[in-house]
Structure 1
Amino acid sequence: MTGEPNVGVAPPAADRRRIAEHADVALRSMGQPNSVVGQFDFWNDRYEGRRLFSEVLGTFLLVLVAVGGGMVNARFGGDAVPAGARVVAPALMVAAIILFMGTVSGAHLNPAVSLAFAARGDFPWRRVPAYLVAQFVGAALATLLLWGLLGKQGSAGLTLPGSGISTVTAMLWELVLTTGLVSVILGSASGAQQVGPLAAIAVGSYIALAGLWGAPVSGASMNPARSLGPALVLGDWTAWWAYLVGPLAGAAIAVGIAFVLRGRGGGHSGTAAAQGVLGERP
């Protein structure tokens, strides 16, 4: 009937974009963050290379510190890099990476985090494989650089069960530690708990605290890329499955906890934290 609204028919792409921009202006006028345009920009393929490069670079820097501490210590002997420093340095690096690259890719740096964000509904599943590849590539490149500069230093830099610790115990330890880590990440990126750049402090603090008491047992990796990247390059697959199964199971538990506490998805803040906001208008 003439004059009736065209119910159920999606508007053309240009109209959808215009609607999104109007909604964005309205939200900003009320002091709300951009919650519409960014969703369109996230699917703009021209930014995909930047996001993946960010994940490669971020994971490279994380593993460079995490693996490098042990390799430098082994190369120069004694206590060149104290145990406390080897634990805290990766935590500080993660905080720095979140602050300077989190808006580009979400700064996952960890397959367990990417899978957790996707399982909670904040990150599209079809983007996950490329993120995982980028993270493992970054980890392998960092280990290759360290190997080329310092040489292979035995098992230094690998995450292995502590003395007298079984592989099963190490796996369960990683499960517990990763449950806490992913819970902090999901919680600090959700609704009222969204703390923006301060999430870097929360995540970095958890990694440091977990490492200080957890590293002697399992190495406190909490990250399959950090563990399996060096294992691939250095050719040592001792207890490798513990550092894959433990973190992934911990991430799954953390997603379940987040669902119980907040329901499915982390809202706009969770989506922005998981996907980054590259391309959104300031």
Structure 2
Amino acid sequence: MAPPVTPASPWFRRFHPRPDAEVALVCLPHAGGSASSYFSLSGRLSASADVLAVQYPGRQDRLHEPCLDSVRDLARGVAADLERLVAGRPFALFGHSMGAAVAFELALLRRREGARAPHTLFLSGRGAPPCGTDRGIRFLDDDGLIAEVRRLAGTDALVLDDPDLVELALPSLRADYTAAETYDAGPGAVVHCDIVALTGDGDDHVGIADAEDWRDHTTGAFDLRVFSGGHFFLGEHEPRIAEIVGTALRSAERPRPGTRGPGARGKEDDRARSIRDAG
């Protein structure tokens, strides 16, 4: 994997730079994840978008920075440079697990500040608020925390089998689980953009009904995509997920009929679907 390009911001990485693309995609990693977890998806979508992968503090090339244990703090960090990097272009947010919470909070933050809404929120591997996500994983001892990460298969086993790498990863893992388990979107948590929820049919963290509840948190259109697999279904179904995201990105490049902007459609126009993409 080639070294990423850091676009004058500690929060973003470009693995396949397309700063001239008409639309941008911002990808937010799961708990314990890093920008590199989106390297493959970035490659698949590089013809369609300028893919910006978020790098949270406390890992990889930000290893010596303090970790953040709040979804709101993570969203604020991403927000600081986001508008400058998307440069007025339509953009979408893609977040998996904890990253979905950060993506949603980022969209809420932009709504509160009167900034442009994303065209689409892709919320993967997380149920809508107030879905119970606090299982107390953050209180486990180190061995228990690593066992949970190993069970979910969201981190390379080579990392988990190396005591030195585990020691480096533990602070960010614990901070991320704290952020993910304590996030409260608060009252009136509604965004003005389309939402596509993605979930695995064997995910013991997120039920299909929990993912479908995201439809109550947008004034835009809603779409539910169900894939075979557990919490980290993304790897197995990445080609199909790239197609779904790519289709939305292409629609973002074209002005929608009428005068209303992306995500401004009312519930009367909501064409929510539940599609099983792979069984």
Give the number of the structure whose alpha-carbon radius of gyration is greater: 1
Report which structure shows greater RCO (CA 8 Å, sep ≥6). 1
Q: Compute the TM-score of the two structures, normalised by the length of structure 1.
A: 0.27
- Structure with the larger strand share: 2
- Structure with the larger helix share: 1
